[in-house]
Amino acid sequence: MPEVQAKFEEGLNTVRGGIQQGKKKLQNMQETAELKRQIKEASHQKTKIYLELGKQVYRMIREGRIQNEELLQTVQPITAQDKIIYEALKLMEELNAPLPGAVKCSCGIFLPKDQPFCTACGRKNAELESTLAQLKTSCAACKAEIPQEAAYCPCCGAAVNLNPGEVC
């Protein structure tokens, strides 16, 4: 029996040792993960500092406060990109400029003055509606709405300058 107990104790010690090793491995993995997180965060902060430093040096070069041929060579591609960005922004501004004679809808979108409805919100073009109302008149004979410049009513055929009840 003591032999079995000794074997049991030996097996138990092996298990305990394995558990201790497992705990140690887990603890090492957790510490390693934390250290990797710290390294990643420090690298991220370092990158932000490099970026800010680069912006400051670039600004100083552009302002003429730094005269270094090597840096000037490095800056040339950045200047070319600045020009591309500037031109693109200028084009966007031109594309988004209202068309001549365009009207602004209450939602803020510009639309052609002769477009009856806004394509963004669906509201009626109030300016077009008021312009059309101003360009129409009523026929004296039949009271139909007719264009202001019409010489004859398209509804009843009466001359526009006739008085009510008068027929040509």
Residue 168: pLDDT over 50: no
Q: How far apart are CA 116 and CA 102, in angstroms?
A: 12
The more confidently predicted of residues 67 and 6 is: 67
CA dist 110 → 24, 73, 99 (Å)? 69, 45, 8
**Residue 73, in any domain of the structure:** yes
CA dist 116 → 62, 98, 100, 107, 134 (Å)? 51, 17, 17, 15, 15
Q: Which residues have a Cβ under 8 Å from the Cβ of 99 and sit 6 or more positions away?
A: 110, 112
Same domain, 78 and 91: yes
**Residue 111, in any domain of the structure:** yes
Same domain, 150 and 165: yes
Same domain, 109 and 125: yes
Contact, 121 vs 105, CB < 8 A? yes
DSSP reduced 3-state for 158: coil
**Residue 93, in any domain of the structure:** yes
pTM: 0.43
Give me the number of domains the chain comprises: 3
Residue 152: which domain range? 139-168
**Residue 158, in any domain of the structure:** yes
Q: Which residues have a Cβ under 8 Å from the Cβ of 117 and sit 6 or more positions away?
A: 123, 124, 125
**Residue 21, in any domain of the structure:** no
Tell the residue number behind the tokens 């079995």, with chain if given: 4
Q: What is the pLDDT of residue 149?
A: 77
The string of DSSP codes covering 73-128 is HHHHHHHHHHHHHHHHHHHHHHHHSPPTT-EE-TTS-EE-TT-SB-TTT--B-HHH
**Residue 150, in any domain of the structure:** yes
Q: What is the pLDDT of residue 37?
A: 97
**Residue 125, in any domain of the structure:** yes
Which residues are paired to 14 by β-bridges? none
**Residue 23, in any domain of the structure:** no
Among 40-49, 134-143, 144-153, 155-164, whose mean pLDDT is lowest?
155-164
Q: How far apart are CA 97 and CA 157, in angstroms?
A: 45
Q: Using 50, 70 and 90 to split pLDDT, how confident is the model at 18?
A: confident
